[in-house]
Amino acid sequence: MGFRNDFLWGGAIAACQTEGAWNEEGKTLTFPDIVKKIKPEQRRNFGQAQIDEQALEAGKTGPVSDYPKRWGIDFYHTYKEDIALFAEMGFQVFRFSIALARVFPHLDDPQPNAKALAYYDAVIDECLRHHIEPLVTIVHFDPPIAVWEKYGGWCNPAMIDVYVRYAGVLLERYKDKVKYWVTFNEINMALKAPFKTLGMLSGEGLEYENRRWQGIHNQFVASARTVIRAKEINPAMMVGCMIADITTYPYSSDPRDVLANLKFDQKMNLGFLDVMVKGRYPYFLKNYFAQEGIQWTCSEQDAELLKQGTVDFVGFSYYMSIVTSYTTKDKQLTNGNMTGGLKNACLSSTEWGWQIDPVGLRITANQLYDRYEKPLFVLENGIGSVEVPGPDGQIHDAYRIAYLRDHLRQLKLAAEDGCEILGYTMWGPIDLISSQTSEMSKRYGFIYVDQDDEGQGSKQRIKKDSFAWMQRVIATNGEEL
Ligand code: BG6
């Protein structure tokens, strides 16, 4: 027993955190291009970047040096060398995203940008040349600014057609080359960082919540239409959803804590998956809308599309867990992946305050498989650390090996529990720019990139100790962990 024979091992990156080339070959400005890097002293108490009117205006005119995602790690130009390193590790799958701002830079362009498509053709062909299965995220946290300026964000239903047209171009073009697709990265993070998913500036109040939920609904419909379209084009294609799984435990056995925990899980995680996997809104979300007075529109046709366009697999990211209580009084808070929570006395944390919880991955896999009975795909997992090469010029990342080993052991146990798990793509196999904080110095990779927070450095790629370790894990299909 252990991982299935066809288990897919690999890594995951996103266009907006790696490609750079922010204004090359027709690409337009995106929201991640205007997220400033934070200072190291903000790491432990940094909530979530927000983009308001002022930040937007500053981003359009501010110095490029303030915005690290604009240069990324230059993957746009180094993809061949980087993919060769992934192949050397034995990757069987490589998850990356395609940038809408490259393919349809103004969203309503009469034709897709031929240069952008040629670039993605080359990336995909490079993967296939190395026998690596490309797994494409159609949109990963990078709405063009035009989504806001032309449409007012995803709350505008016109965005559904924009997306479906774009997705259709990709599905048609890569129908014989790409089997695995993810419609939206961490769709549930619309609750935390609406600029990243919905292309909406931050806001508050009931009217804002109406627009936020309309935007989320429109993405559900866009995703469902994409699943339907994919099946028409090539029924063998597998289309998945993805959430940032924010695993949470009750603070205590006080039933009020247990209830608060249940409600948090329903709203943060399960509601999103229920719509995309089961094809309908669950009672608890409907009830939440009624209680809060949140109003948005779901036509009969939308409801039918949601029913027909359910996904083939359940994708999720898993980094950490939190604890929830009915009251935060006298309790310590902690950071997390865009979602903080209460501190768990049983767990240690990363330098960014994310609580390290390998067993939580086994629990999560079991909960999701039990609820949906659909194959799971762990699309992100990893640890961000500050790293500087030692006197020998190497990076000895024993803590990363420990983090990944502990999580993979638990994932293996989840497989032995009977959960169907298609694969595992470790987040950031090569150091890249942090999504939340725009730091380069938050490093996740098996491969070090010689570049600092200012974008200075040789950009040389150096294999860390974890590189050889992961190579062995993959070669033995997780037998040696
Ligand atoms: C996930 C995102 O939320 O977490 C990635 O899908 C992101 O884009 C990853 O990079 C880790 O977060 P961060 O903020 O450490 O980069």
Map out the domains of the chain as residue ranges: 8-475
Dist. CA 173–CA 368, nearest whole Å: 32
How far away, in angstroms, is 289 Cα from ligand 1 center? 29
CA of 141 to the centre of ligand 1 (A): 10
Q: Could you tell me if the CB of 383 is within 6 A of ligand 1?
A: no
Asked if residues 34 and 55 have their Cβ atoms less than 8 Å apart, the reply is yes
185 CB less than 6 Å from ligand 1? yes
Q: Is 186 in the pocket of ligand 1 (CB under 6 A)?
A: yes
For residue 61, report the distance from its CA to the centre of ligand 1, in Å. 26
Query: Does the Cβ of 442 fall within 6 Å of ligand 1?
Result: yes
Mutate to test the pocket of ligand 1, among 13, 43, 380, 437 (most ligand atoms within 8 A of CB): 380
Q: Is the pLDDT of residue 359 over 70?
A: yes
Q: Measured from the CB, is residue 436 less than 6 Å from ligand 1? A: yes
Taking 70 as the threshold, does the pLDDT of residue 46 lie above it?
Answer: no
Q: Report whether residue 439 contacts ligand 1, using a CB cutoff of 6 Å.
A: no
pLDDT at 197 over 90: yes
Q: Is 427 in the pocket of ligand 1 (CB under 6 A)?
A: yes
Residue with the smallest CA separation from ligand 1 atom 9 is 435
Residue 178 alpha carbon to ligand 1 centre in Å: 24
Residue nearest to atom 16 of ligand 1 (CA): 434
Does residue 328 carry a pLDDT above 70? Answer: yes
**Ligand 1 pocket member 197 (CB < 6 A):** no
Mean pLDDT across the stretch 270-298?
A: 98
Q: Which of 13, 432, 435 to mutate to test the pocket of ligand 1 (most atoms within 8 A of CB)?
A: 435
Q: What is the pLDDT of residues 70-112, one digit of tens each?
A: 999 999 999 999 999 999 999 999 999 999 999 999 999 999 9
308 within 8 A of 279, measured Cβ to Cβ: yes
Instruction: Give the burial string for 363-391 (b: 16+ CB within 10 Å, else e).
Output: ebbbbbbeebebbbbbbbbbbbbebeeee
Instruction: Kindly give, in sequence order, each residue whose CB lies less than 8 Å from that of residue 372, ignoring residues fewer than 6 positions away.
Output: 273, 277, 278, 314
CA of 256 to the centre of ligand 1 (A): 32
What does the pLDDT average to over 319-336? 93
**3-state SS record for 364-387:** HHHHHHHHHCCCEEEEECCCCECC
Please report the pLDDT score of residue 340 as a whole number. 85
User: How many residues appear in the chain?
Assistant: 481
Instruction: Tell which residue, 475, 303, 420, has the closest CA to residue 4.
Output: 420
Which pTM does this prediction carry?
A: 0.97
Tens digit of pLDDT for each residue in 380-427? 999 999 999 999 999 999 999 999 999 999 999 999 999 999 999 999
Q: Could you tell me the end-to-end alpha-carbon distance of the chain, in angstroms, rounded to an integer?
A: 14
Phi and psi, residue 77, nearest 5°: -105, -15
Q: How far apart are CA 159 and CA 175, in angstroms?
A: 23
- 472 in the Ramachandran plot: left (φ > 0), alpha (ψ -120 to 50) or beta? alpha
- The CATH H-level (homologous superfamily) assignment of domain 8-475 is Glycosidases (3.20.20.80)
Q: Residue 44: is its pLDDT beyond 80? A: no
Cα(186) to centroid(ligand 1), Å:
10
Q: What is the mean pLDDT of residues 254-275?
A: 98
Closest ligand 1 atom to the C-alpha of 244? 3
Q: Is the CB of 335 under 6 A from ligand 1?
A: no
**Would you place residue 50 in the very low, low, confident or very high pLDDT band (cuts 50, 70, 90)?**
confident
